[in-house]
Amino acid sequence: MNKHQWQYMFHDTKLGLKRNKGAVMASVTLLFIALCLIGQLLLVRAYITEAVHYVESQVAMKVYVEDGMAQEVAAILAEQSYTKDVNVETGAEMIASLAFFFEGRTHLLESFTDGRVPDAVKFSVKDAEMMQVIAKNLEGASGIVSVVYPQQMAQILVSWIETIELYGVLVVLLFFVVAFMMVYSTCHLAMYKRQQELKVKLLLGMNPKIVRMQFLMEGVVLGISGACIAMLTTAVSYYTVYAGIHQAVPYLGKLHTMDLVMVCSVQLVMGVFLSVLASYISTRDVIADV
């Protein structure tokens, strides 16, 4: 391609978008809706991540030990047949994991740090039904101060969380497929109207790669436009809705700026990918036939 052909391609891309405003609006709107939904799903997931991690970390038996006994007790428990996995949590680590629940209420957290929090050995068991029996056996053993194990409700909650996470991933994938189908249908309809333009250019000797590139570039512009509006909506919801929820219910979750950046990046990449793929598939058959 020489420099004139590049110029003509950019010019034709601009002209194509300008003279097909209806199709452009439809494509951008559909992209915006799909990316918005996906962005909100991802934001919610990020928002409750810390709370979910905390709950998951507590669904394990905790054995509080005397000073300096943590590693020894952990090694003994690791050898037991009922143990699935073991790790040591120091008092300082336990307080740090609680910190996000006390945002805005640091005076309450300080009361924890003022007191003594013993080290603990956390371990999960292979058979949850055996937890009560195992706890009873461990209580009173040398080096062990107390044994805590999750009630049935916490285990049910974790089970729900795992199910929701799995379905959450499937829902995002489903949204992605639905978004692609919507954008593809719109691009295909728009392409039907412009088939003649494509066909004429090919019959006049234009390189098919250049013809395709023009329509792919139009796809890129559509993708970026839809993604930008979705990113803006996501940012507004981040600073208004989620910030408001966090103020009212701080222990439910928290979002970091990096979460917003990640979600917006995913929206941008997905937006461009969806529209370019839809443009490519829409033009493929016409280019092959002429």
CB contact set of 184 (below 8 Å; sequence gap of 6+): 277, 278, 281, 282
Q: Which bin fits 62, alpha (ψ -120 to 50), beta or left (φ > 0)?
A: beta
What is the closest distance, in whole angstroms, from the C-beta atom of residue 12 to other proteins in the complex? Answer: 8
Considering beta carbons, is residue 179 or 190 the nearer one to other proteins? 190
The answer to whether residue 204 forms part of the interface with other proteins (CB under 8 A) is: yes
When asked if residue 8 is in the footprint of other proteins (CB under 8 A), the reply is yes
Of 68, 119, 124, the residue nearest 95 (C-alpha): 119
Instruction: Output the six-digit token pair for 236.
Output: 């507004």
Does residue 212 interact with other proteins by CB under 8 A?
Answer: no
If one asks whether residue 25 binds other proteins (CB under 8 A), the answer comes out as no
> Which is nearest to 226 in space by CA: 28, 3, 11?
28
In the region spanning residues 37 to 76, those forming contacts with other proteins, defined by CB under 8 A, are none
- Out of 130, 200, 243, 252, the only residue in the binding site for other proteins (CB under 8 A) is 200
How many CB atoms are closer than 10 A to CB 67? 10
Phi first, then psi, for residue 85 (nearest 5°) are -155, 160
Q: Which of residues 158-197 bind other proteins (CB under 8 A)?
A: 194, 196-197
Count Cβ atoms below 10 Å from residue 239 Cβ, excluding itself.
12
Least Å distance, CB 283 to other proteins, is: 15
Tell me if 21 contacts other proteins by CB under 8 A: no
Q: How far is the CB of 188 from other proteins (least distance, A)?
A: 18
Per CB under 8 A, which region of 99-107, 128-136, 202-210, 231-239 contacts other proteins? Answer: 202-210
Position 208 contacts other proteins (CB under 8 A): yes
Stretch that binds other proteins, among 147-155, 201-209, 216-224, 268-276 (CB under 8 A): 201-209
Measured in whole angstroms, how far is the alpha carbon of residue 225 from the centre of its chain?
Answer: 22
Identify which range of 65-73, 74-82, 169-177, 206-214 contacts other proteins by CB under 8 A.
206-214
2 binds other proteins (CB under 8 A): yes
Q: Does 1 bind other proteins (CB under 8 A)?
A: yes
- The residue (of 192 and 239) whose beta carbon lies closer to other proteins is 192
Least separation in angstroms between residue 27's CB and other proteins is 17
Q: Enumerate residues 6+ apart whose C-beta is below 8 A from 211.
A: 198, 201, 202, 283, 287
Residue 10 Cβ vs other proteins, minimum distance, rounded to whole Å: 12
Query: Long-range contacts of range 255-261, CB-CB < 8 Å, 24 or more positions apart?
Result: 255/43, 255/46, 255/47, 256/46, 259/43, 259/46, 259/47, 260/43, 260/234, 260/235
Q: Could you give the angle at the alpha carbon of 268 between the alpha carbons of 267 and 273, nearest 5°?
A: 100
By CB under 8 A, name the one of 117, 220, 277, 290 that touches other proteins.
290
How far apart CA 22 and CA 168 sit, in angstroms, is 34
Residues at the site binding other proteins, with contacts judged by CB under 8 A: 1-2, 4-5, 7-8, 12, 15, 19-20, 194, 196-197, 199-208, 290
